[in-house]
């Protein structure tokens, strides 16, 4: 099994995906263990002094004015975990919880938190055992960290609350730890707070969304090319010299992908033989510009994620010179903004995709295709309601594009009076990504059928490879009306698993 070694310098997006989705094992590097011990020594020295230090010998948040005596500090750390484990609503996905815990471990291992090495090792042991704390949908405002979600994870380390075992059964966390030979931690000064103060949930969801969107943007380039082909459109608009004079890199990449898919097509430009069109509709002609803008937004989001992966987010933090200082680095604004940006881009990509699908189904705009791509229009309805479903998904995408990060709501007796709502931005982006895959799947279903209805014309080799692969995956081609939901579900699975991209790349080589 793949092993990820966590050191002091952060982790990569690939590491997060390997742990969250691939079940990779985790090891702590020697330098991480040394840094943990050194930082802990600083915290222990401060704890022995009479002067109050936030998070070490004081209360938290609006209660930070109270000095906590030494005999109450272990109770203080337990209490912050218990009281902050106040999430509600449905459980979040296992991969999200694993990413959340792994990213908190990443910060702990930076040597800036003051957590003991044995606590970090227990975090790794829980992940390696396949134990997943029960974390709920609601409880984070994206400031002072993803507090409730991280608290539910810390509760499991203490042997309290509920968690899911590797067999998928939810049991008391204490039972699961005992079954795997893991001793619950007894938290000491600052450790409870250090386990809760991070942007880890929103960052983990950002990294997974970027991975999924990378596949979906390539998929959208492919389906846009298929639709252009089915509509007998002109691929001249994809010429690299046209995109070079507006040098957005995402636009150039999308245009190059579409051109690669369409290479050798016997359909593109065919309309010029008998019914010349000066230019195609925006949804076809401007596909690279819209998808390209989304790609550039992803590039910016990836840069933010890379910076956050290298960060040590905690409050207070242990600095190399031995100071322990309060700060505001837990504020999720940088991550929250890009999560919202991506939801906007996903909504627009879904919108232009749906417009192309509608054009394929409308006999007045499809340049000779049967109404709704039906076998016997009137007797058959064809893909009429498949487009309804796609339209409903796009409408939902537009609602999900409303930014969460613009909606700060104060908390903690006005101590935490401006928050990022980054967790909420991440949760809605996950829904948007799921819906975008479905929208692209409907275009794939319509475009492949439409191409097959262009009898006597030969599609591009890459297009034919896609048609062959999607039919082999159980998505049926043209014919009389049938139960459509299974076909659409199969097309959706084909897209989100990356099979659409893989099929095209058997001809085109790696797409950009």
The catalytic site residues sit at 54
152: nearest Cα among 166, 175, 134: 134
Angstrom distance (rounded) from CA 292 to CA 257: 11
Q: State the pairing for strand pair 317-318/324-325.
A: antiparallel
Which tokens belong to 460?
Answer: 């591009």
Which tokens belong to 338?
Answer: 């890009």
Which tokens belong to 266?
Answer: 């016997």
In contact, 358 and 388? CB cutoff 8 Å: no
In contact, 448 and 466? CB cutoff 8 Å: yes
Angle separating helix axes 461-472 and 200-230, nearest 10 degrees: 120
Which tokens belong to 1?
Answer: 């099994």
Structural element, H or E, at residue 138: strand 136-138
Angstrom distance (rounded) from CA 467 to CA 145: 47
Structural element, H or E, at residue 162: strand 162-164
Would you mind telling me the total number of residues written for the chain in this entry? 512
Q: State the pairing for strand pair 132-133/162-164.
A: antiparallel
Phi, psi of 502 (to 5 degrees): -60, -40
Place of tokens 């090891």: 27
């Amino acid at each position: 099994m793949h092993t990820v070694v966590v050191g002091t310098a952060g982790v990569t997006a690939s590491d997060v995906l390997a742990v969250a989705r691939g079940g990779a094992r985790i090891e702590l590097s020697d330098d991480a263990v040394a840094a943990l011990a050194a930082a802990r020594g600083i915290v222990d020295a401060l704890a022995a002094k009479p002067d109050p230090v936030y998070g070490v010998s004081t209360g938290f948040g609006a209660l930070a004015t109270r000095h906590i005596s030494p005999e109450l500090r272990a109770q203080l750390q337990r209490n912050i975990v218990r009281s902050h484990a106040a999430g509600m609503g449905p459980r979040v996905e296992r991969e999200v919880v694993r990413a959340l815990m792994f990213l908190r471990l990443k910060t702990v291992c930076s040597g800036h938190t003051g957590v003991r090495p044995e606590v970090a090792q227990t975090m790794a042991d829980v992940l390696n055992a396949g134990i997943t704390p029960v974390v709920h949908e609601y409880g984070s405002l994206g400031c002072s960290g993803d507090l409730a979600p991280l608290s539910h994870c810390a509760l499991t380390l203490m042997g309290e609350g509920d968690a899911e075992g590797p067999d998928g059964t939810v049991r008391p966390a204490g039972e699961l730890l005992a079954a795997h030979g893991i001793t619950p931690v007894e938290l000491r000064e600052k450790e409870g707070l250090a386990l809760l103060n991070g942007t880890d949930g929103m960052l983990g969801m950002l990294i997974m969304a970027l991975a999924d969107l990378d596949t979906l943007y390539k998929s959208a380039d492919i389906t846009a090319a298929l639709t252009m082909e089915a509509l007998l459109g002109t691929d001249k608009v994809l010429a690299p010299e046209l995109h070079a004079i507006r040098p957005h890199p995402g636009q150039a990449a999308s245009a190059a992908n579409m051109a690669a898919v369409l290479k050798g097509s016997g359909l593109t430009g065919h309309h010029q033989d008998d019914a010349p069109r000066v230019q195609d509709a925006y949804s076809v002609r401007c596909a690279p510009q819209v998808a390209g803008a989304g790609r550039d937004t992803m590039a910016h989001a990836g840069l933010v994620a890379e910076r956050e992966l290298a960060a040590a987010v905690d409050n207070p933090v242990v600095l190399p010179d031995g100071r322990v200082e309060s700060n505001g680095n837990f504020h999720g604004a940088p991550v929250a903004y890009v999560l919202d940006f991506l939801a906007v881009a996903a909504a627009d990509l879904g919108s232009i995709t749906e417009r192309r699908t509608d054009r394929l189904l409308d006999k007045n705009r499809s340049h000779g295709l049967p109404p709704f791509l039906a076998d016997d229009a009137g007797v058959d309805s064809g893909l009429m309601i498949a487009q309804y479903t796609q339209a409903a998904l796009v409408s939902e995408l537009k609602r999900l594009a409303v930014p969460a990060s613009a909606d700060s709501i104060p908390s903690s007796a006005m101590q935490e009076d401006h928050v990022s709502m980054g967790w909420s931005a991440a949760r809605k982006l996950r829904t948007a990504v799921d819906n975008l895959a479905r929208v692209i799947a409907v275009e794939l279903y319509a475009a492949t059928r439409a191409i097959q209805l262009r009898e006597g014309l030969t599609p591009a080799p890459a297009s034919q490879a896609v048609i062959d692969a999607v039919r082999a995956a159980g998505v049926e081609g043209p014919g009389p009306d049938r139960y459509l939901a299974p076909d659409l579900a199969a097309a959706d699975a084909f897209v989100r698993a990356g099979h659409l991209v893989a099929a095209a790349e058997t001809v085109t080589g790696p797409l950009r």
